[in-house]
Amino acid sequence: MINFLNSGLMHTVDGLYKVLPQEKPSQEKFARSKVISHRGEFDNYSILENTFSAFDSLLDLGVWGLECDIQWTKDNHPVISHDPHLKRLFKSNALIKDLTLLELKNHFPQVPDLEELVHRYGGQLHLMLELKSDSIGLSNPRKDVLKSILNELEPLAQFHFLSLDPDLLMQVDFTPSESLLPVAETNVRQMSRQAAKNNWAGLSGHFLLINNKFSNFHKREGQKIGTGFVGSKACLYREINRNVDWIFSNHASKIQPIVSKELKDYKKRIEEETESSPVV
């Protein structure tokens, strides 16, 4: 979500929570939490983040949702990329905003566009679409494009928009406010207030920064909480015990099987209890 959370400090904190003992959550709590793969399953060597290669495996894993990032081409097509440039993944100095969609596809075919992504995964995976800030924002042409692409999906049930920029979320006026999710950096208090004031979906951010005070406040407001980045069983247990709704992870292939097993056992238990109940 943010560079700060990728710092040595955050890695140290993540490592600490991996070894702290945590009580195993109830199966009912497991059933309420949803795992979201952050940019897919990738190593950025053989499989690049935010590509179909990173997302395809999520279907077999049984992951509830995928998180991806939206940038805009020169001709106002939304494409999937965390960075506004292509240097980190493709060793190119090109900026996405300086390329047309056709040029991008010709030179960097691994970069998906949003329409392709929706056709490929819409209705199968919940789409958490992070809008990235730029100098233009959501102009009317861009709004029309997003609205058209997402037309067949149901907001809240099948997709949400995320953003680090609350001003950008305020520009989204073609979908219910409850489908908008702010992502907090160190400005948790500010984002929390914005979320409550604007009746947004809730609040998301690093699990260390979204403490129980903020979580309980938004629960009372009827909103949801999303935290990242869960990478271990202990951290997963902690977040589920805190009634976190959306669990973002860079390691969904490790996290989802834990959840899936508990859900399978929970379903079996319910079926057995139903069968053993006396008929009135």
Q: What is the pLDDT of residues 170-214, one digit of tens each?
A: 999 999 999 999 999 999 999 999 999 999 999 999 999 999 999
Residue 98: inside a domain = yes
How many domains does the chain divide into? 1
CA angle, 142 then 147 then 152, to 5°? 150
Strands 202-206 and 180-182: unpaired
Cα torsion 48, 52, 57, 62 to 10°: value is: 120
Model's pTM, two decimal places? 0.93
CB atoms within 10 A of CB 269: 11
Residue 118 neighbours by CB under 8 Å, 6+ apart = 127, 149, 150, 152, 153
Structure tokens at 223: 């909103």
CATH code of the domain containing 124: 3.20.20.190
Q: How far apart are CA 81 and CA 130, in angstroms?
A: 10
Q: Is residue 275 part of a domain?
A: no
Low-confidence ranges of the chain (pLDDT < 70): 1-11, 13, 279-280
Is 263 inside a domain boundary?
Answer: yes
> Which whole-number Å values give the CA distances from 128 to 7, 42, 209, in the listed order?
24, 17, 20
Is residue 264 included in any domain, yes or no? Answer: yes
Q: Please indicate, yes or no, if residue 126 is contained in any of the structural domains.
A: yes
Q: Are strands 78-80 and 65-72 parallel, antiparallel or unpaired?
A: antiparallel
Degrees to nearest 5, angle at CA 7 with 41 and 40: 10
Structural domain containing residue 137: 26-270
Residue 10 pLDDT: 63
* 256 is a domain residue: yes
Output Rg (C-alpha) for the chain, integer angstroms. 19
Residue 165 maps to a domain = yes
